Amino acid sequence: MAEPSPITDQEFALFQRLIYKIAGISLSEAKKVLLVGRLTRRLKVYDLSTFTQYYRMLASGEHPDELQTMVDLLTTNETYFFREPKHFAYLRDEIIRKRKSASTFRVWSAASSSGEEVYTLAMVLADQLPNSPWEIVGSDISTQVLAKAATGHYSLARTEGIPPDYMTRFCLKGVRSHAGTFLIAPELRKRTSFYQINLTHPVDAEIGDFEVIFLRNVMIYFDPPTKAKVVHNLLPRLKSGGYLIIGHSETLNGITDRIDAVLPTIYRKP
């Protein structure tokens, strides 16, 4: 079939409102090229010639799976192991080593994407708490990246940043048909779980409470009211004295007064 018609400003505005309504994400004009690149092939799948036709199909409510596909395509973000390593050093040196409780140490990676952050946390906890119970929850709005994360299977090209000692202890290099890949060790994967969670909605109490919540490199996509809503939704799941850690390019200044800054990007709940 012929290429779909170029997206118009009015059509882009429709998708800006739709993704904001669903996920609270503010798509700037600079993201138009990304949106077109990721959604054009979906128009081709359904033999549609305009973005308006695709929008109407999504808005009809008759294709919930396609709506989820659209969300997956527009919310998938790049991540990697040991991103912003000072946070993991603080977790190790200031939070874990100084804790006094013997209860299960629980961490939530609230925007876990394809799982690299979850398994980075798992390596640190396995190293620092070898004889203590711990568990990690990863969540994302994208079902596509959650399915990837649950496998714990990555290309060896993704190992940059993983300390060699951790690579040896916690990662299994693939052989034969799996050459060029590695698998997170089963003893780490069994202490992790993944859930689809929309952070702009109240968080179900069944997920439990946490000593630490990582909410990194996702609030840059939210406007101030949505940031405030997300933090309001997460704080009930953070234990008193627990830590909320955000990305290095993010801040909670003017967003909430219910949590105290310890260091830039690291906050503690009273």
* Domain contains 243: yes
Please tell me whether residues 69 and 118 are part of one structural domain. no
Which of 49, 75, 101 represents a domain boundary (last residue)? 75
Residue 4 lies in a domain: no
User: Is 42 a known active-site residue?
Assistant: no
Three-state DSSP at 128 gives: helix
132 and 52, same domain (yes or no): no
108 and 48 part of one domain: no
127 annotated active-site = no
- What number is the average pLDDT over the span 155-175? 94
Listed residues 75, 98, 124: the one ending a domain: 75
**Angstrom distance (rounded) from CA 252 to CA 74:** 24
Same domain, 29 and 116: no
The domain boundary, picked from 17, 46, 75, lies at 75
Per-residue pLDDT band at 80 (split at 50, 70, 90): very high
The CATH number of residue 31's host domain is: 1.10.155.10
Q: Residue 2 domain-assigned? A: no
Q: Model's pTM, two decimal places?
A: 0.92
Tens digit of each residue's pLDDT (9 = 90 or more) over 111-134: 999 999 999 999 999 999 999 999
Task: Tell me, yes or no, whether 190 and 113 share the same domain.
Answer: yes
208: alpha, beta or left? (left if phi > 0; alpha if psi -120 to 50)? left
pLDDT beyond 80 at 2: no
Return the pLDDT at 155. Answer: 95
Q: What is the pLDDT of residues 172-199, one digit of tens each?
A: 999 898 899 999 999 999 999 999 999 9
Residue 80 lies in a domain: no
Instruction: Report residue 154 as tokens.
Output: 């990555």
Q: What is the pLDDT of residue 266?
A: 98
Mapping DSSP onto H, E and C, the string for 149-198 reads: HHHCEEEHHHCCCCCHHHHHHHEEECCHHHCCEEEECHHHHCCEEEEECC
* Same-domain check for residues 122 and 243: yes
Structural domain of residue 40, as residue ranges? Answer: 9-75
231 and 137, same domain (yes or no): yes
Taking only the tens place, the pLDDT of each residue in 90-114 is 999 999 999 988 899 999 999 999 9
pLDDT value of residue 52:
97
Question: Which domain CATH number covers 244?
Answer: 3.40.50.150
Q: Is the pLDDT of residue 4 over 90?
A: no
Interval 232-244 mean pLDDT = 97
Across the chain, mean pLDDT equals 94
Whether residue 97 sits in one domain with residue 155: yes
Determine, yes or no, domain membership for 214. Answer: yes
Average pLDDT for 54-80: 91
Q: How many domains does the chain have?
A: 2
At 240 the pLDDT is 96
Percent of the chain predicted with pLDDT > 90: 90
Residues 69 and 128 in one domain: no
pLDDT at residue 118, as a whole number: 98
Q: Is residue 1 part of a domain?
A: no
pLDDT for the residue numbered 1: 59
| Residue 3 covered by a domain | no
Instruction: Identify whether residues 124 and 49 lie together within a single domain.
Output: no
Indicate which residue of 72, 140, 189, 216 is catalytic: 140
By the 10 Å C-beta count (0-12 exposed, 13-18 middle, 19+ buried), 101 is classed as exposed
Measure the CA–CA gap between 231 and 253, rounded to whole angstroms: 12
pLDDT recorded at residue 3: 82
Who wins on pLDDT, 61 or 190?
Answer: 190
Q: Which of 38, 83, 99, 191 is catalytic?
A: 38
For the residues 196-224, what does the mean pLDDT come to?
95
pLDDT at 76: 72
Residue 174 lies in a domain: yes
The predicted pLDDT at position 77 comes to 75
Predicted pLDDT at 101: 83
Same domain, 63 and 95: no
Whether residues 233 and 99 share a domain: the answer is yes
pLDDT of residue 37: 94
